[in-house]
């Protein structure tokens, strides 16, 4: 693969770099650099700044606001976003639900929902997993019964990321029990302010409120909020998951590599830097080799309009690398990472820390990253997908 950038690519890279320098608020960049919690307002504000520049929906069709960037430009854009300590965008609306709407929705749905997503006026969440129906998503039991011009929805969704902030949720619901389980699922868009919806928090092992359980009790949803055909939602869900699994992680993984080298050279709990420890350096080298593999696969994937089976491998390898990085970072600071200080992830926390400042957030980050090999379909499921799609097993 030719990694020599053309002059126009380098000019584009400088344009993005200048935009970040001129538009990213200092306090938001500081939160991202230190791995601290972001407020909803931080993310929305940055998304709107990107949209004002025309850079928030690069993967959308050009007539809807897409950029028609080359794979190289997409790659450089993501690198500059990470190198500049920019917040990651919330993918649920712009990267997950929107492609389903503009691919399978009707014209009225496109006009109704896409502008709010593009302008970040509406926050979305994902209603897929249920208690007992996570990796085996086709076994979901949330029912939507047709009643005239509405569906009546009853059931439960869980692990719903940032549902406490959401205005709308895109949901997989069971509309038929005939035939195979996959054949009786529909794709509904539901207003979170509809009577009968209750959101309850799930506090994760790192102490944060990131995920939730969402209960639906006799929730009335207009039939016009169904995307595509009834009982064809499984097809749309698989299309969406391809975009979710192929989210770009290279920039963040490279940033973690730089942190690893930096922290390994510091005086740590062992009272000596790990830069000379051969076992630790071998572990970093293993991470770096896998990262290079991931980077080239991501570049290949960017050249495809619709992600294929390679998206499963991107998801599998990328999430394992995320976990490996946090493990190595926590190992580097030794017992300085042991005090579990939940508040250390809050911007402005300035209580005396045990050991170096950068050590305090590492334990919460390590615990939070345990989930990455499960979301968007567990890594075990990804191996099954690759076996069938690539090896024909």
Same domain, 227 and 256: no
**What backbone torsions phi and psi does residue 375 show, to the nearest 5 degrees?**
-70, 160
Sort strands 150-157 and 197-203 into parallel, antiparallel or unpaired.
unpaired
H helices within the chain, ranges in order? 7-23, 26-34, 40-53, 71-83, 91, 98-104, 107-118, 233-245, 250-264, 278-302, 310-333, 362-369, 379-389
- On whether residue 105 sits in a domain, the answer given is no
Cβ contacts of 309-312, under 8 Å, gap ≥ 24: 309/385, 309/386, 309/389, 309/390, 310/246, 311/241, 311/242, 311/243, 311/245, 311/246, 312/245, 312/377, 312/382, 312/383, 312/385, 312/386, 312/389
- On whether residue 240 sits in a domain, the answer given is no
Domain boundary among 232, 258, 284: 232
The owner of tokens 């029990």 is 177
Same domain, 162 and 226: yes
- On whether residue 304 sits in a domain, the answer given is yes
CB 313 within 8 A of CB 382: yes
Q: List the helix and strand counts (H, then E) for the chain.
A: 13, 8
pLDDT value of position 272: 61
Same domain, 281 and 383: yes
- Using CA atoms, how far apart are residues 44 and 18, in angstroms rounded to an integer? 20
Return the axis-axis angle of helices 278-302 and 250-264, rounded to nearest 10°.
160
Same domain, 255 and 385: yes
Same domain, 255 and 383: yes
pLDDT value of position 393: 57
Same domain, 313 and 385: yes
- On whether residue 111 sits in a domain, the answer given is no
- Using CA atoms, how far apart are residues 102 and 305, in angstroms rounded to an integer? 14
Domain boundary among 201, 232, 263: 232
- On whether residue 104 sits in a domain, the answer given is no
Return the axis-axis angle of helices 233-245 and 310-333, rounded to nearest 10°.
40
Same domain, 306 and 185: no
Same domain, 360 and 307: yes
- Using CA atoms, how far apart are residues 73 and 5, in angstroms rounded to an integer? 10
Same domain, 253 and 319: yes
For the chain, the domain total comes to 3
Question: Residue 267 belongs to what domain range?
Answer: 246-389
Residues in the chain with pLDDT < 70?
Answer: 1-3, 134, 242-248, 266-272, 302-309, 338-344, 349-355, 376-377, 389-390, 392-393
Global confidence as pTM: 0.82
Same domain, 180 and 284: no
Distances 352 to 25, 304, 337, 355 between C-alpha atoms, Å: 26, 49, 14, 9
- On whether residue 46 sits in a domain, the answer given is yes
CATH of the domain at 178: 2.40.110.10
Same domain, 205 and 259: no
- On whether residue 95 sits in a domain, the answer given is no
pLDDT value of position 202: 95
CATH of the domain at 281: 1.20.140.10
- On whether residue 300 sits in a domain, the answer given is yes
Q: What is the radius of gyration, based on Cα positions, of the chain?
A: 22
Same domain, 291 and 319: yes
Q: Could you report the per-residue pLDDT of 2-54, keeping only the tens digit for each? A: 567 889 999 999 999 999 999 999 999 998 887 788 999 999 999 999 999 99
What sign results for the dihedral spanned by CA atoms 256, 258, 261, 265? negative
Q: Could you report the per-residue pLDDT of 112-121, keeping only the tens digit for each? A: 999 999 999 9
Question: What is the SS3 assignment for 225?
Answer: helix
């Amino acid at each position: 693969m030719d990694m020599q950038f053309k002059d126009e690519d380098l000019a584009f890279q400088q344009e993005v770099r200048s935009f970040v320098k001129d538009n990213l608020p200092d306090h938001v960049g500081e939160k991202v650099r230190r791995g601290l919690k972001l407020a909803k307002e931080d993310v929305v504000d940055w998304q709107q700044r990107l949209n004002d520049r025309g850079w928030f929906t690069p993967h959308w069709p050009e007539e809807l606001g897409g950029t028609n960037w080359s794979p190289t430009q997409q790659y450089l854009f993501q690198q500059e976003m990470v190198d500049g300590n920019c917040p990651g965008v919330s993918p649920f609306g712009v990267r997950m639900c929107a492609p389903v709407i503009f691919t399978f929705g009707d014209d009225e749905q496109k006009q109704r929902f896409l502008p709010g997503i593009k302008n970040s006026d509406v926050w979305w969440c994902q209603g897929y997993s249920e208690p007992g129906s996570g990796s085996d998503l086709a076994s979901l039991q949330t029912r939507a019964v047709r009643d005239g011009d509405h569906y009546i929805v009853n059931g439960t969704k869980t692990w719903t990321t940032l549902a406490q902030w959401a205005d709308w949720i895109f949901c997989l619901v069971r509309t038929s029990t005939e035939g195979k389980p996959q054949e009786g699922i529909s794709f509904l868009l539901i207003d979170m302010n509809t009577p009968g919806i209750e959101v309850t928090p799930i506090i994760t092992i790192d102490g944060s409120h990131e995920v939730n359980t969402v209960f639906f009790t006799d929730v009335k949803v207009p039939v016009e909020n169904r995307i595509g055909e009834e009982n064809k939602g499984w097809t749309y869900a698989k299309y969406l998951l391809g975009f979710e699994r192929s989210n770009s992680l290279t920039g963040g993984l490279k940033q973690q590599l730089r942190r690893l080298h930096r922290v390994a050279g510091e005086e740590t709990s062992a009272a000596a830097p790990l830069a000379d420890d051969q076992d630790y350096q071998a572990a970093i080298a293993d991470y770096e080799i896998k990262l290079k593999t991931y980077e080239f696969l991501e570049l290949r994937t960017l050249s495809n309009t619709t992600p294929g089976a390679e998206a499963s491998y991107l998801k599998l390898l990328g999430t394992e690398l995320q976990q490996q990085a946090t493990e190595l970072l926590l190992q580097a600071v030794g017992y300085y990472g042991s005090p579990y200080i939940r508040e250390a992830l809050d911007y402005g926390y300035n209580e005396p820390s045990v050991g170096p400042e950068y050590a305090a957030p590492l334990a919460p980050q390590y615990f939070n990253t345990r989930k990455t090999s499960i979301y968007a379909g567990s890594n075990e499921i990804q191996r099954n997908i690759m076996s069938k799609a690539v090896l024909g097993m």
